[in-house]
Amino acid sequence: MKARRVLLLGPPGAGKGTQARTLAAELGVPQIATGDMLREAVAAGTEIGVRARAFMERGELVPDEVVVGVARERLAAEDAREGFILDGFPRTTAQARALDEMLRELGTGLERVVVLEVDEEELVQRLLRRAEIEGRSDDNEETIRNRMRVYREETQPLIDYYRQRGLLREVPGSGSVEDVGARLREALCA
């Protein structure tokens, strides 16, 4: 049995988005990426976008209550009933607790958490290359280094949080997209 309620963890640039997209399509469940949702809100100029923008541009985390609201609404949608691939949420222990609570209210829970492990310097180089291709405003070197620090300080503690709950699998994130994908799929099996 493959897990269908999945969280992908890992530092910025580890390939979560790419893997989440193909995996979600394969499993027929939505990819829920708070970063994408927030960028859309910024582009559309919604109230959430206005609140999130400055944090995102600095590579800081958007306040928990804003992101938790966005995630809660998305997870409650009809198309997420049979599963989802969470990508970029939760990123703090408070968000992880909020996620546990919202899933409990929906009568469900996470089945698997996979952390993609990649060396930090390799990631900085990857993100700088991506910045040239995509032109993301939060992809200059200073912001990238800040996002790495935020990951280490705020998000890495979630690895233990989920290990203690017996949900965690660690997957090496270097190599081709296909190789990482194969390891990831294996980690979703019981």
Residues that bind ligand AMP (CB under 6 A): 12, 34-35, 38, 55-56, 59-62, 67, 88-91, 95, 138, 147
Residue nearest to ligand AMP (CB): 35
Asked if residue 111 lies in contact with residue 5, where contact means CB atoms within 8 angstroms, the answer is yes
Active-site pick, 21, 130, 183, 185? 130
Whether 136 sits among the annotated catalytic residues: the reply is yes
Report DSSP state, residue 29. -
Six-digit token string for 171 = 């997957």
CB of 190 to ligand AMP, least distance (A): 28
Measure the CA–CA gap between 89 and 67, rounded to whole angstroms: 8
Q: Residue 20 contacts by C-beta under 8 Å, 6 or more apart in sequence?
A: 8, 31, 33, 85, 87
Nearer residue to ligand AMP within complex by CB, 160 or 186: 160
Q: How many whole angstroms from its chain centre is CA 149?
A: 16
Nearer residue to ligand AMP within complex by CB, 60 or 111: 60
CB of 38 to ligand AMP, least distance (A): 5
Active-site pick, 58, 97, 136, 185? 136
Measure the CA–CA gap between 108 and 156, rounded to whole angstroms: 24
Whether 2 sits among the annotated catalytic residues: the reply is no
Nearer residue to ligand AMP within complex by CB, 29 or 62: 62
Whether 16 sits among the annotated catalytic residues: the reply is yes
Residue with tokens 């989440």: 20
Six-digit token string for 161 = 């949080």
Whether 112 sits among the annotated catalytic residues: the reply is no
Whether 147 sits among the annotated catalytic residues: the reply is yes
Active site residues: 16, 91, 130, 136, 147
